[in-house]
Amino acid sequence: MLILEYIDKLLNGDKRTCARLISIVENNEEEAKNIIKNIYKYTGKAHVIGITGPPGGGKSTLTDKLAKELRNKGKTVGIIAIDPTSPFTGGAILGDRIRMQDLATDPGVFIRSMGTRGYLGGLSKATQSAVKILDVYGADYIIIETVGVGQSEIDIVKNADTVVMVMVPGLGDDIQAIKAGVMEIGDIFAINKSDLDGAARTAAEVKAMLDMGPRKDRRPPIVQVVASLNKGIDGLLDEIMNHMEYLIDSGELKNRREDNIRMEIIKLIETEIMRIVLQKSQTDRALEKATSEVVDRKTDPFSASESIMKLFSKNV
Amino acid sequence: MFDNESLNQIKQSRNEWEETQLKKTLAKFPERKEEFTTVSGEVVNPLYTPEDIEWLDYNKDLGYPGEYPFTRGVQPTMYRGKLWTMRMYAGFATAEESNNRYKYLLEQGQTGLSVAFDLPTQIGYDSDHPLAEGEVGKVGVAIDSLEDMETLFEGIPLDKVSTSMTINAPASVLLAMYMAVAEKQGVTPDKLRGTIQNDILKEYIARGTYIFPVEPSMRLITNIFEYCSKYVPKWNTISISGYHIREAGCTAAQEVGFTLADGIAYVESAIKAGLDVDDFAPRLSFFFNAHNDLLEEVSKYRAARRLWARIMKERFGAKKPKSMMLKFHTQTGGSTLTAQQPDNNIVRVAIQTLAAVLGGTQSLHTNSRDEALALPTEDSVRIALRTQQIVGYESGVTDTVDPLAGSYYIEAKTKEIEDKAMEYINKIDELGGAPRAIDMGYIQQQIMDAAYKYQREVETGARIVVGMNKFQVEEESPKGLLKVDPAVGNLQKHKISDLKTRRNNELVKEKLEALRSACESDENVMPHILEAVKTYATLGEICGVMREVFGEYQQSVII
Amino acid sequence: MNSRPIRVLIAKPGLDGHDRGAKVIARALRDAGMEVIYTGLRQTPEQIVSAAIQEDVDVVAMSILSGAHNYLLPRVVELLKQEDADDMLVLGGGVIPDEDIPGLKEAGIKEIFTPGTPTTAVVDYINENVNRQ
């Protein structure tokens, strides 16, 4: 099988193969399964960093600078940069690379841009698989840069070991807007463009927000950076390393990865059940029948779904 | 301008006309289109009457040429005194070849020089830099060191010509080289006349030849303002450019709004650095585009003049009238030229020339018919220059000042553009000024939206471009286009390595280190750049030092 | 679901900063349902090829107005060949004289779009000629 050949090359760090495999997991679910089944045993080595936060916060520049700092320490880096896909045309403009031009020809860096392709949550559906491929490819660190839409960024937690929440002064109101739930996902807060007026205020707001939140063993640190001038990046990377140390020492890494894997399995089961149920109900036209019965008030949505599920459980 | 009674009468007669005459005609002969719009997409009414300029207060809004608010022009006699400076942007390949072209143009009656630099020069790289590969001498002349500059102006007395240099990020270095050449000719800096473009904000917005980040770039510009106000008083220290913003696809009102917003940022930056507004403002100049929509363009220039005068007086408290005058250079719109039927471009350029002249430009470059295909040939450049001369000497539009003033349409349009431009300026102020608005991508997004809209209109045929989407013909490939010898790159490389064996390298190093310290401190860098240039330090070496201290700008992606 | 948007890399090789054409095309391709990886100004052939490989694109489209096309465009094709990636469709656009086009095509640039080309023509060309596996 061609896939196995590919995997051999991937393990040898072949760039084109890595790129190809990411395309396959993006485009073909069946082959994606096949690939992940074959490479899974080699995964789990990379430290996965999520970079999230509101749009205009300088996430790409920060990613660029973090990657450079990691390269200075001799580490290899994989970057997945996600931009929104147009819901109307299915097209997308993926422009994050523009901030990472110096990294383009660095053999120790692999950058991949992905469109969300209709997937909500700030990532793309294939992100998780792409991370695994980059992990096997040999990236010591994998940075995922999310779309940056504020409210729907929480998926990053399920995919990253360390989540860096990027904030900028001048978007003050946005902190209010995104605090619900989203603020809690930050393991580290980076106040970017901290040379601008209002940086101290933003930091204070984040601090206040953290004070209000539930008490945790570990309080997320707040780091001031100016990504465009490469200021404070070493400090941020130190905090990222500290976080990994904390995860390991506290046993949190195991918990977190367990949680994530559990979630991943549940998600896959959900998807599979949905697929089977919909497929089954399609052949029997059960869904259409049930729908029209509900429309006619002969039954209700709850009873209808229960009867479809019964149909399905008989068939498993 | 009109009393209430006559306005009422006009309203009444207009209603009558619409109800009877117009209605009848429309019933039989409907108009060609449902809606008529300018090139900028603004709706044009079928007719303009005194009602459209009810607001007009002659003395306040128009006044007299040479007087505030300068709507009718910056000089009292305008072209009756002297015609605009016919200034053709030229330069290619080596300094020797460009020098020959300049001498030719001066013989042909051109009255000022305009230097085009190649891209490596514009981005502060020497010809032997890897990124310069394939680019040396292509879109302008390659200048690596003072030696090239000496060749470029060989036999041209710098106290007699005015020279415009299209140079931005490394403007300080090229100005210093120009001063050093003058010194060798025995011409003191106070005699030098000319302009450096020196407008970095529009590079971030539209033109793309930036080097340093915003802050150090603004500081370099302010350093030049300060230095020139003391030592090179006749030099125009900046040409705040809407030209490229328009080429990138924006509307006429956006061209005015974004350009003046950039102007405001420069003024604020200089004031913040402790300069007095009336010391540097008289040396600010502007640079606009001329598109095909003749009347919209004329209104645009008039609107820009009035708006800038008001901004300088009211916002910055300028006292000298010269500080409030918007003087500008114009170039006909490169993006309006078609590769199809290139001779049609001669006509487009003629219309655009009229627009610039009716709008009161101080100098003008006319594009050549073949510029959508390649760099212009000498023949094409001559036709373009002749176009200016025909408008200047034969058309008669130069014989009276601001001849279109008082046209209901022109005055209404002038105000419309002024108001719209002011809205953009207000929006940019809200965002924290032009540099911040650029950083956030606001300006780029506005331009891109307008450009895409225009492109759609052309592609759907809603907007006709003659020869391109209508009236096409089968064409043969144009012949005899100008080719730059690819050997220029190697020639320049040799010149640099040869120079480096001849000059005093110890002295070069010393001056570059002095420049580095100046960059790291608050000192004005101009004297240090001048010193370095004189030791034949190369452009790349000088910009290299500044790159190390200042860092490099990162582009935003706005599509 | 095996939907697969065409992926296109749009780059500005060389030093010229005129990106109106590149951006208009980028938008038009997006509106035609393609994924456009936009890499911006001042790209070296090495950077372009490296990005094309990592992004696993179907098309590499380059816009150039500075006159350096005869050097830069063939260089990109050459590097793609070295990387075994010459199955990608390589396109050029910008101010490129007719007389240079045959040489560029011979060098492996599949099509050159000169000023005045409607964006729809580019979209159609890509749809018809993309080398999809």
Which residues are within 8 A (CB) of B356 and not within 5 positions of it... i.e. 6 or more apart?
B84, B288, B290, B297, B301, B330, B332, B364
Interval A109-164: pLDDT, tens:
999 999 988 776 667 778 989 999 999 999 999 999 988 755 555 677 778 899 99
> Please, which chains are in contact with B (at least 3 CB pairs closer than 8 A)?
A, C
In sequence order, what are the residues at sequence separation of 6 or more whose Cβ sits closer than 8 angstroms to the Cβ of residue A39?
A: A7, A10, A132, A133, A136
Question: Which among B440, B551, B557 is the nearest to A95, CB-wise?
Answer: B557
Tell me if B329 sits within 8 A of B240, measured CB to CB. Answer: no
Question: Which residues, 6 or more positions from A148, have their beta carbon under 8 angstroms from its beta carbon?
Answer: A52, A53, A54, A55, A56, A57, A59, A122
Instruction: Tell which residue, B223, B222, B200, has the closest CA to residue B212.
Output: B200
Over residues B516-538, mean pLDDT: 97
User: Does C37 sit within 8 Å of A97, measured CB to CB?
Assistant: yes
Give CA–CA dist A8/B380, Å, rounded: 61
Terminal CA-CA length for chain B: 46
CA distance linking residue C49 with residue B537, whole number of Å: 35
Query: Which two structure tokens, joined as six digits, stand for B315?
Result: 């916002």
Any chain A CB within 8 A of the CB of B557?
yes
Nearest residue in chain A measured CA to CA from C38: A95
Q: List the end-to-end C-alpha distance of chain C, in Å, as a whole number.
A: 16
What pLDDT was estimated at residue C66? 84
pLDDT in tens, B310-359: 999 999 999 999 999 999 999 999 999 999 999 999 999 999 999 999 99
Question: How far is residue B384 CA from its own chain's centroid?
Answer: 18
Which one of A162-176, B171-185, C3-17, C58-72 scores highest in mean pLDDT? B171-185
Q: Hey, which chains touch A, using 3+ CB pairs under 8 Å?
A: B, C
Contact in structure between B92 and B166 (CB atoms under 8 Å): no
Please state, in angstroms and rounded to a whole number, the distance separating the CA atoms of residues A272 and C33.
28
pLDDT band at B459 (very low <50, low <70, confident <90, very high): very high
Q: What is the mean pLDDT of residues B239-251?
A: 97
Contacts of A90 (CB under 8 A, 6+ apart): A117, A118, C3, C5, C33
The confidence score (pLDDT) of residue A177 equals 54
DSSP A153-213: -GGGGGT-SEEEEEE-TT-HHHHHHHHHHHGGG-SEEEE-STTSTTHHHHHHHHHHHHHHS
B203 touches chain C (CB under 8 A): yes
B162-166 and B193-196: which strand pairing?
parallel
Percent of chain B past pLDDT 70, that is, above it, reads: 100
Helix (H) or strand (E) holding B365: strand B363-365
Phi/psi zone of residue B194: left (φ > 0), alpha (ψ -120 to 50 degrees), beta?
left
pLDDT of residue A168: 86
CA-closest candidate to residue B71, choices B52, B58, B54, B55: B58
- Round the average pLDDT of chain C to a whole number and report it: 92
Q: What is d(CA B385, CA B391) in angstroms, rounded to the nearest whole number?
A: 10
First-residue to last-residue Cα distance in chain A: 30
- C-alpha span between B38 and B252 (Å, rounded): 9
Q: What local confidence, expressed as pLDDT, does residue B456 receive?
A: 93
Overall average pLDDT of the B455-478 stretch: 91
Digit-coded pLDDT (tens) for B495-509: 999 999 999 999 999
How many A-B residue pairs are in contact by the CB < 8 A criterion? 19
Residues belonging to chain C with any Cβ–Cβ distance to chain B shorter than 8 Å: 14-20, 23-24, 26-28, 30, 38, 40-42, 44, 66-68, 70-72, 95, 97-99, 114-116, 118-120
Q: In chain A, which residue's Cα lies nearest the Cα of C23?
A: A93
B105 and B88 in contact (C-beta within 8 Å)? yes
Joined together, the tokens standing for residue B166 give 């299209």
C-alpha to C-alpha distance for B76 and B360, rounded to whole angstroms: 11
Decide if A233 contacts A225 (C-beta within 8 A).
yes
Q: How far is C110 from chain B (nearest CA, A)?
A: 19
Distance of residue A102 Cα from the nearest chain C Cα, in angstroms:
8
Q: How far is CA A258 from the centre of its chain?
A: 17
Side-chain half-sphere exposure of B318, counting CA atoms within 13 A: 27
Collect all residues from C whose CB is shorter than 8 A from any CB in A: 1-5, 7, 26-27, 29-40, 42-44, 46-47, 50-51, 53-56, 83-85
**Are B503 and B134 in contact, with CB atoms under 8 Å apart?**
no
Q: Which residues of chain A have pLDDT under 50?
A: none
Q: pLDDT tens-digit profile of C106-133?
A: 999 999 999 889 999 999 999 999 976 5
Say yes or no to pLDDT of B556 above 80. Answer: no
Question: Which residue is closest to C6 within chain A, CA to CA?
Answer: A91
Which of A95, A170, A229 is closest, CB to CB, to B559?
Answer: A95
Q: Which of residues 113-152 of B touch C (CB under 8 A)?
A: 119-120, 122-123, 125, 130-135, 138-139
At residue A284's C-alpha, the angle toward residues A283 and A290, to 5°, is: 125
Q: Which residues contact A266 (CB under 8 A, 6 or more apart)?
A: none
Q: Which residues of B touch C14 (CB under 8 A)?
A: 119, 134-135
Which comes out higher in pLDDT, residue B387 or A7?
A: B387
Contact (CB, 8 A) for B341 and B473: yes
By Cβ distance, the residue of B432, B441, B551 closest to A229 is B551
CB B83 within 8 A of CB B399: no
**What pLDDT was estimated at residue B182?**
97
Per CB-CB distance under 8 Å, the chain A contacts of B555 are 98
Model confidence band, residue C2 (pLDDT cutoffs 50, 70, 90): very low
What confidence tens digit (pLDDT) does each residue in B63-77 have? 999 999 999 999 999
Find the residue in A nearest to C51 (Cα). A104
Q: Do B440 and A56 touch (CB under 8 A)?
A: yes
- B458 contact C CB<8A: yes
pLDDT in tens, C74-117: 999 999 999 999 899 999 999 888 889 999 999 999 999 998 89
Provide the pLDDT confidence category of residue C3 given band limits of 50, 70 and 90.
Answer: low
- Determine how many CB atoms are found less than 10 A away from the CB of residue A306: 13
Burial degree of B499 (CB within 10 A; 0-12, 13-18, 19+):
middle
Closest among B467, B439, B55 to B215, alpha carbons compared: B439
What is the percentage of chain C residues whose pLDDT exceeds 70? 96
Using the predicted structure, report yes or no on whether residue C1 has a pLDDT greater than 50. Answer: no
Tokens 């729809």 correspond to: C120
Phi, psi of B56 (to 5 degrees): -65, 125
What's the one-letter identity of residue B305?
A: R
